[in-house]
Chain A
Amino acid sequence: MPDLTWMAWTPQTALFFATIIGLLLVMTTLAVRRPELERVGALGIATTRGDRLFLSLLGTAFIHLAWLGLAGGPLWWATALSLLYAAAVFRFV
């Protein structure tokens, strides 16, 4: 095992990256098992599942930042809001 202490890992950030890597693995498996076609949704642009994942993650980041900056309070609410947002992106965009 290489020495990774220089990267200053914490369990929380490790979990965060594990989630993202997990999402990418799921998307890869899906792409192989169930190939898809681009579709045009609410934004009027053609998107693939990967595009929708990107939009979900980017939006999630901004939702969390907005929550920290404007609302305060427990971040779990921002996470819940982000999940709703991601579901909407995957369904409608």
Chain B
Amino acid sequence: MDKPYDNRAWLLVLPVLAIVAFSAVIPLMTVVNYSVQDTFGNNQFFWNGTGWFRELLDPSTDLGGRVFDSLWRNLAFSAIILAIEVPLGIAVALAMPRHGWKVAATLVLMAMPLLVPWNVVGTIWQVFARADIGLLGYAINRLGIDYNYVADPLDAWITIIVMDVWHWTSLVALLCYAGLKSIPDAYYQAARIDGASRWAVFRYIQLPKMRRVLIIAVLLRFMDSFMIYTEPFVVTGGGPGNSTTFLSIELVKLALGQFDLGKAAAMSIVYNLIVLAVCWVFYTVMTNLDVERRRLPADR
């Protein structure tokens, strides 16, 4: 049945448009304006054309070097935490109980780290991992391992990665668990009749059913880790040296620390474009999975 179609319905969207314009579009336009100018404060701007962008994209300059270094650092960080959190999340989801009172208990327990505010997570780990008074840092040192995240870049990286895994693996696990719960018992019964091994059940029943939630999990974890700021800022402040200075920390240093609005604006635009491109790829993959599902609804 055809529903009546009335373009005046679009008028109802206007308030949202106004809010988005006020909170996102106009500030973004201002950033674009900043990116082609230089300022010394006092709202006085001088035309700089594409100067900041040229400098930014040339790794041999100070600005370019900092931007590229933090970009590689950030990509490495995202790759590492994805490589740990996704398999670990799947493993945890597979081990979670399916029936009885334990389900509720596990779900609450798993959701706990997700409810902790980011700066609190940072503070917890900042103290927990300290070599002098923190339980973790002190214990590791007592075991005879020289560990100090304030002085050693490798230790700082390990601390931040373990913290992120602690904070976010349960998100991946909960998403996978939702995917696993949606598999009807008939699939497992059929597998049992066919004498399928545990690996075959995982590979041909559980993994395909989790594909969609896994893509969402990877998208969420990639975007979150690519834009991470609070936790490493609280724990290491980007140090020692610049070893844990990720993109957003570098950006804040530029914009608020040095008040280089032009450079920071140019960097935000490039940063934003990368995020936008990645989002588009993930979004397209996800919506096309939906389309595939609609075409083949019965036997998947």
Contacts and interface: CB of A to CB of B under 8 A. Distances in A.
Contacts of A32: 7
Contacts of B39: 8
Contact of A12 (B34, B36, B43, B270): B36
Interface in A58-84: 58, 61-62, 65, 68-69, 72, 75
Given A12-B36, A61-B273, A75 B43 contact: no
A7 interface: yes
Given A17-B29, A58-B277, A68-B54, A8 B270 contact: no
Interface string A33-70: 00000000000011000000011001001100100110
Interface stretch (B45-53, B150-158, B201-209): B45-53
Contacts of B50: 68, 75
A12 B33 CA distance: 9
Contacts, number: 55
A8 B30 contact: yes
A72 B26 CA distance: 30
Contacts of B30: 6-8
B33 A58 contact: no
Contacts of B57: 65, 68-69
A10 B36 contact: yes
Interface residues of B, number: 26
A16 B32 contact: yes
Interface in B26-78: 26, 29-30, 32-34, 36-37, 39, 43, 45, 47, 50, 53-54, 57-58
Contact of B33 (A9, A45, A68, A72): A9
B58 A69 contact: yes
A54 B36 contact: no
Contact of A8 (B45, B54, B288): B45
A10 to B, nearest CB: 6
B141 interface: no
A10 B47 contact: yes
A8 B277 contact: no
B276 to A, nearest CB: 6
Interface of A: 5-10, 12-13, 16-17, 32, 45-46, 54-55, 58, 61-62, 65, 68-69, 72, 75
Interface of B: 7, 26, 29-30, 32-34, 36-37, 39, 43, 45, 47, 50, 53-54, 57-58, 270, 273, 276-277, 280, 284, 288, 291
23 contacts: A5-B43, A6-B30, A7-B26, A8-B34, A8-B37, A8-B39, A10-B33, A10-B37, A10-B45, A13-B33, A13-B36, A16-B32, A17-B29, A17-B32, A32-B7, A58-B273, A61-B273, A62-B277, A65-B57, A65-B273, A68-B57, A69-B54, A69-B57
